[in-house]
Chains A and B, each alone.
Chain A
Amino acid sequence: MIRHRFAFLAAGLALLAAASPALAQSAVADKWRWLTFLVFGVIISLTMFVTYLAAKRVKSVADFYTAGGGVSGLQNGWAIAGDYLSAASFLGIAGLISLYGYDGFMYSVGWLVAYITVLLVIAEPCRNIGKYTLSDILAYRNDPKKVRIVGAISVITVSTFYLTAQMVGGGVLVKTLIGIDYEISVVVVGVLMLGYVLFGGMVATTWVQIIKAILLVTASIVLVMFVWTPYGFSLPAFLQAVVADPKVQANVAALLGDKAATMSAAELGQRFLEPGLYFKAPIDQISLGMALVFGTAGLPHILMRFFTVPTAKEARKSVIWAMGIIGGFYVLTIFLGMGSAINVGSAQIKTIDAGGNMAAPLLAQYVGGGADSMLGNLFLAFVAAVAFATIVAVVAGLVLAAASAMAHDLWVGVIRGEKNVTPQEQVKAARIATGLVGALAIVIGIAAKGQNVAHLVALAFAVAASANFPCVLLTLYWKRCNTGGIVLGMIVGTLTAIGLVLVSPNMTYPKLIKAAAQKVVDAVPAKESNLTADLAAATDDAAKTKTRNALVAMQKEVAIAKGNLDKFKSEETSLVGLEKPLFDLRNPGLISIPLGFLAVILGSLLYRDKRAEDMWDELYVRQNTGILAAKAAAH
């Protein structure tokens, strides 16, 4: 039976190997693709073997959702790190550092600080009170049906945003790395993920996360060794090489534009280690920081991880481990990003991917000996395979969280009633919901091809911070919190976060794009005659080259502008019918998080529920002492 199911997974792998011989520009040359597939095959086989072992252990519904509460703190810490170091944070932050220096590093700090909130106020109470889902905590002293409905909607919303970003990002990543068609890689990610979750439940998902996190950290340490050894493991010496690098200086000069004209080469290099190359709007950055620091504690797939450990003490231990691993990883990212900036160079990083996501993979290729060497391509293949495993693993965790909200909260909790459902039916409902969410993920992934989804991760964090976090925090720590507050808080938090993004600069505004493009096109004649005059007047070769480069850059700009004019020919307004954003805030957290809290407080005060207040002592004693919590993990 189980072996049969695995034929299905093997088919997915074969599909991957057979995919698309036609190549666009990708990081791996044709000649070396077999090597990439070999490494992919080894890593995927390893995770499938783990799933095969795990599948035998998944019998009850607790096994499926929470691995029966039998995960240790150390294992869970690695799994949390695996869940969190998604492709966005691993490839994205290395890329930001390689292109923008200091700002990229500063961005990574918020991702670690987020775990302090999780450690201090969320992890242990959740373990002591909850069972499978976030709504279990909310339902404890409130009207279970109402709370489960709004809780499930919010969980499914957050997971879907995150999932879409991962699926689209994954499809693009695999295409960029090895040239497989976008649609095929989305299907392969979906099929593999479904294989892990359907057969292995939380046991397999946990182990896939652990394996992937260990591979990721190992690969990063090896790369950092290569990058740092020439400088005798001295941080000042390494950074001195960074600021003295002509590629870095040229990159900074290009970022600063006119302001760079009066700066010396040394000043330009040093500028790379100073703030302001990436983040231009301080308020936006603070808003993003709020969404990260409070949103992580409301992410359903992260909260769910605390139900997999047996005790609050193990939950605490798992956050400590996760903080060590995640923080250590981000420190390594400085070397990955800056190492890529001096060894590969921003120009080459950007030719393959403008957002810088290829910085770490290209660095791997470089330290192994370059694009023509076997070792270089083996390293690249390894990093690519880890990135691929990352996407599959993160998607698996998200699908499990969304499926548990659907099956446990909506089907079992609201529609059927917990007492009327046999354990067998619960497991069946969990698997069916997983299949549904997984199929949906594949469909959305393909439908969203070519969309700009970068802001979807930020949106997922914003909804988690504005809806889930205030509800969970206040039900755990405020006696008066009740059903009215939870329902209002969930609705207001979710809607304001989404609504603010819909009218923000994140959306595409065709009229503004066309106006900007028209301006570029209109400026061409004057600029061209100026540059031609400069070229004629130029006396030395350096000045001539500079002018010629400026001409080439101008032509590129014009081509992009013309492309935009053509693309948006018949469109005037954004998705919600606006010609321009209503305000400048890209991240809604600054407004939506306080509104979410306010809604929970107002809703609670207006609704008044004596039962919720009477049960406060029970909830508060349980969350602090863990009385009865062992029972939840014992079965």
Chain B
Amino acid sequence: MVDAARLDWKAIAAESRFQALHHKKSRFLWGLMIFSVVYYFLLPIGAAYFQELYKIRVWGPINVGLLFALSEFVVAWGIAFVYSRRANAEFDAMASEIVRDVEKRMGGKG
């Protein structure tokens, strides 16, 4: 059994593998987060200040505003997809490697 009090958290945090995970994940997550917030707030800002643009008709009665609003859904799902693929393939593997190592060192199976 791994016990929280017996772990040297500072040493794990300083390990190069954890640092690599931290850097990769932080950059990726906050990048996506900022992009999604900016993309979302463009919709109401545009609806308020660029109404003429939103009114331009593209396909029958469908206008730029409707397409933009629909694109918000596609972008949200896209972000979810991109994040989960990267996390499943890369972050999970990096994290479980660190966990396995710690448990081995502690002599328990967790």
Contact = CB atoms under 8 A, between A and B. Distances in A.
A274 B65 contact: yes
Interface stretch (A238-246, A383-391, A495-503, A504-512): A238-246
- State the main secondary structure of chain B at its contact with A: helix
A628 B4 contact: yes
Given A275-B47, A323-B80, A618-B9, A120 B29 contact: yes
A289 interface: yes
Interface string A223-260: 00000000000011101101100000000000000000
Interface in B43-92: 43-45, 47-49, 51, 54-55, 57, 59-63, 65-66, 69-70, 72-73, 76-77, 79-81, 83-84, 87-88, 92
Given A109-B40, A239-B62, A617-B12, A624 B80 contact: no
Interface residues of B, number: 55
Given A106-B47, A286-B45, A627-B102, A116 B12 contact: no
A144 interface: no
Contacts of B95: 624-626
A333 to B, nearest CB: 11
A132 interface: no
Nearest to A243: B61
Contacts of A628: 2, 4
Contacts of B55: 274
Contact of B61 (A103, A239, A293, A317): A239
A242 B60 CA distance: 12
Given A102-B66, A624-B25, A625-B99, A316 B87 contact: yes
A33 B79 CA distance: 46
B43 A106 contact: yes
A109 B70 CA distance: 9
Nearest to A313: B92
Contact of B54 (A105, A274, A286, A621): A274
B100 to A, nearest CB: 10
Interface stretch (A4-12, A209-217, A324-332, A558-566): A324-332
Most buried by A among B80, B92, B110: B80
B76 A327 contact: yes
A293 B77 CA distance: 15
B72 A113 contact: yes
A115 interface: yes
B76 A115 contact: yes
Nearest to A322: B80
Given A275-B47, A615-B9, A627-B98, 15 more contacts: A106-B43, A113-B72, A240-B60, A240-B61, A270-B61, A274-B63, A275-B65, A316-B87, A323-B77, A323-B80, A618-B9, A621-B9, A621-B12, A625-B95, A628-B4
Interface of B: 2, 4, 7, 9-10, 12-13, 18, 21-22, 25, 29, 32-33, 36-37, 40-41, 43-45, 47-49, 51, 54-55, 57, 59-63, 65-66, 69-70, 72-73, 76-77, 79-81, 83-84, 87-88, 92, 95-96, 98-99, 102, 110
